[in-house]
Amino acid sequence: MIDDAILTAQLGHTLDATHFEAFDDRGPITKYDGKVRDCYIDLARQERILVITDRLSAFDQVIGLIPFKGQVLNQLAHHWFEDTKAIAPNHVVAVPDVNVTIGRECTPLKAEFVMRAYLTGVTSTSIWWAYERGARTFCGHPLPDDMRKNEALPAAILTPSTKAAKGDHDVSVSRDELFAMGAITPAHFEEAATIAAQLFAHGQRRAAERGLILADTKYELGLDPTGRVVVIDEIHTPDSSRYWYADDYEARLAAGEEPRSLDKEYVRRWLVGEGGYSGDGPPPPLPDDVRVEAARRYIRNFELVTGRTFEPDLREPVARIAAALRAR
């Protein structure tokens, strides 16, 4: 595991944002800033250059910068896209830099495909939030009475959410509500739902092989230029998923303790706990020790999932990324 001194030294060298104007010999490029990814859209090549920054988002806002998060996340997503490409096609065209994925530009389906196997979460879209407030159906799925937080659901369920406009919160909805909103066609929904269920079952098996539990995850899917449904954005990362250690999960559940997690839930819990954050308005600044601990967890996730030691790229990222994109 990486030295703490390297993580601490990196606190002042995180990748915050990029501001590329153009890349040599490419046509005009439009930029779109997501919360985590800077997107450069190359219409001529029908490609989306995704620069995965060190920004961490929670409660639909950018919360802070985590050392090496972009590198870790991008390489994890790449690992999982490779690992799952026989199950479902994905958008990846190339990964020319540790912080960059070039994806086929797709039309995103207007729903997020969330698969859940456990009764958990802290935000208002989470299944635990609804259950705690008395809900016994969630996104159209009936839920048993007397369940405890973090318990396994009887079976994994698909709990779609809407894609809110920037700054708004997503909302969990049933498939019929999505159809009533006209967000997606039934045919696209069914295809995406099948893909999500297959990917999730695979991810859960892989996680179990590594001593982890993949508790839930969110997929984004889109239509590629030929009209095929493909997985876009990222997959099975600690930003889009909850990962718990399997070995002490049962003991902690029995003791009423939270599972040990290897994902950004650590930061969400810090925000609502020590940070005193309610989920709305400007979040409190993340202290350096929380940023370092978050980095440790992202890196630990990478090392357990890939079986490789994380080797940080310490070169100045903006110049390095520009050179990698020019060289393509």
Ligand X SMILES: Nc1ncnc2c1ncn2[C@@H]1O[C@H](COP(=O)(O)OP(=O)(O)OP(=O)(O)O)[C@@H](O)[C@H]1O
Say if strands 100-104 and 92-97 run parallel, antiparallel, or are unpaired.
antiparallel
Per CB under 6 A, 220 contacts ligand X: yes
Q: Which stretch, 103-111, 150-158, 178-186, 254-262, contacts ligand X (CB under 6 A)? A: 103-111
Q: Choose between 36 and 214: whose C-beta lies nearer to ligand X.
A: 36
Q: Which stretch binds ligand X (CB under 6 A): 98-106, 266-274, 296-304, 311-319?
A: 98-106
Site for ligand X (CB under 6 A): which residue of 35, 45, 252, 260?
35
- CA dist., res. 295 & res. 293, Å (int): 5
The residue with its CB nearest to ligand X is 34
Residue 146: exposure state from Cβ atoms within 10 A (0-12, 13-18, ≥19): exposed
Quick one: residue 261, left, alpha or beta (phi over 0 = left, psi -120 to 50 = alpha)? beta
105 binds ligand X (CB under 6 A): yes
In a 3-state reduction of DSSP, which class is residue 126? coil
As a 3-state breakdown, the chain gives helix, strand, coil percent values, each rounded to 5, of 30, 25, 45
Q: Does 232 bind ligand X (CB under 6 A)?
A: yes
- Per-residue binding string, ligand X, 146-175, x by CB under 6 A, is --------------------x---------
Mark the segment that binds ligand X (CB under 6 A) among 1-9, 105-113, 114-122, 300-308. Answer: 105-113
Q: Does 89 participate in binding ligand X (rule CB under 6 A)?
A: no
Nearest of 224, 240, 285 to residue 52 by alpha carbon: 240
The torsion defined by the Cα of 311, 317, 323 and 328, in degrees rounded to 10, comes to 60
Q: Verify binding: residue 236, ligand X, rule CB under 6 A.
A: no
Q: Mapping DSSP to helix (H, G, I), strand (E, B) and coil, where does residue 83 land? A: helix
Return the residue of 20, 34, 94, 246 that touches ligand X, per CB under 6 A. 34
Binding residues (CB under 6 A) for ligand X: these are: 34-37, 39, 48, 57, 91, 103-106, 108, 166, 220, 222, 232-233
